[in-house]
Amino acid sequence: MYHLVFSADENYIKYTSVLITSIILNTDKNKKIQDFDKISNIKNEKYFFHILSNFVSDKTREKLLNLQNALNEIFPCEIIIHIKNDEDFENFPTSGAAHSLKLPYYRLKLSFIFDESVKKCLYLDSDMLCICDIRELFSINLKDKIVGVVGDPGSKKSKIKFKENDKKKIFYFDENYFNSGLLLINLEEYKKHSIEQKCEELASKCYYIKAADQDLLNATIHYKHQLKLDFAYNFSTIAFCYVICKDENKNRLNYTRNEFNKSIKNPKILHYGEKPWRFLKSYFDYKGKNINEYWWDMAIKTPIFNEELLKSKKNITNHLLCAGLGRELFNAALKFNFLKIKFLIKNTSNDEKYMQRVESIEDDFFGICCILGIAISYARSHKKNLFSVYLKALKMIYNFKKYHFRSRI
């Protein structure tokens, strides 16, 4: 039996259904767990998909039941809903990734889901897509490690600020900082080391935290209790644009360039930054395919939810706006055209024109344009000044030019 955990509110469940479908359809029915783990004693193979949520309507529950029935014909599975309340997380700060809901914290409290008979579970963010047989992960022996994790590709210079004994303290993260979008959890060790309690205790003291549950888990699970997994198992899609590896800067991705290049050629689980339901196009993989198409290909195959998803696809234009704005910012930054950058931030009158020019953007260039366009959108909504946007753009353009093609060898 394989236990997988997701967190999703009512609106996000349709995206979770695509991930669940991708897991089922990529399970090779001609193989048993013993093909991955020769000493495994699992006989009755079945997936248990646990959805953590704050509310699921009767209509959505019926859809999930129908989804379960349809997928069960392909491979044995069961979908189980667990309802929690934000009130249960009153000690956790409302900031950063948990700025509106406490849902990101729900994954921390696993004791209310599993009894002592369940030894291992896999948590996955709903904005992922599985393109491997997920039993590969379940066959990994965690031994006495608490969790199997994948390093985060972002900067490791972040921190948590908290108060203890009336004194302000800072916890700095290091190169071992991991992404909590995938957690292969040894439940015995997780409980033994009181991770839930440690996370809540630290959360109650925090007055600054950015990545919510991810920061808390990194602060409470020491590196010696982590098993480092291949980057391919939690492949952050922005890495298709560019990534800085540890042999280039130790404060970035904690994998060598050689290790990363192996993963980019054969990613196993995609973790989308630019969500396919908001961006029809973003980055292109090693084979030259738009990675968002993989998600939509699976959405079409997703029982029950596919019609709803495909209907929403017709109205998606965010990728056009972001790529259009991004190309303008790219050119303006390189020409030190501060007036143009200010215009992009303050004025939306030419947005339609920028969107119409997107078709001419080359595939390798499209991803960086999206990232730069998102920076403009953020500056508009948060009233950022042109110099902060300019400096950020220059840094991203420099990194793109330096690192993008190192993974295309």
Q: What is the pTM of this model?
A: 0.96
Q: What is the mean pLDDT of residues 267-282?
A: 97
pLDDT confidence tier of residue 268, bands split at 50, 70 and 90: very high
| Among the ranges given (30-44, 126-140, 211-225, 312-326), the one the predictor scored with the smallest mean pLDDT | 30-44
Q: How is residue 137 written in tokens?
A: 């992960």
C-beta separation of 120 from 188 below 8 A: no
pLDDT confidence tier of residue 91, bands split at 50, 70 and 90: confident
C-beta separation of 133 from 140 below 8 A: no
Q: What is the mean pLDDT of residues 279-305?
A: 97
Look-up of token digits 């290091």: 174
CA 238 – CA 363 distance, rounded (Å): 14
Q: Tell me: pLDDT of 95 over 80.
A: no
**How long, in residues, is the chain?**
409
Provide CB contacts within 8 A for 162, sequence distance 6+: 168, 169, 170, 171, 202, 205, 206, 207, 208
Side chain identity at residue 5, one-letter code: V
C-beta separation of 330 from 393 below 8 A: yes
Q: What are phi and psi of 46, to 5 degrees?
A: -155, 140
pLDDT confidence tier of residue 110, bands split at 50, 70 and 90: confident
For the chain, give the mean pLDDT: 94
pLDDT confidence tier of residue 37, bands split at 50, 70 and 90: confident
- Position 215 scores a pLDDT of 94
Q: What is the mean pLDDT of residues 62-80?
A: 98
Burial 46-69 (b: 16+ CB within 10 A, else e): ebbbbbbbbebeeebeebbeebbe
Distance of CA 371 to the CA centre of its chain: 16
Distance of CA 136 to the CA centre of its chain: 19
- Position 198 scores a pLDDT of 95
- Position 86 scores a pLDDT of 86
Provide CB contacts within 8 A for 245, sequence distance 6+: 252, 253, 255, 256, 257, 259, 260
- Position 138 scores a pLDDT of 96
Q: What is the DSSP string of 373-395?
A: HHHHHHHHHHT--HHHHHHHHHH
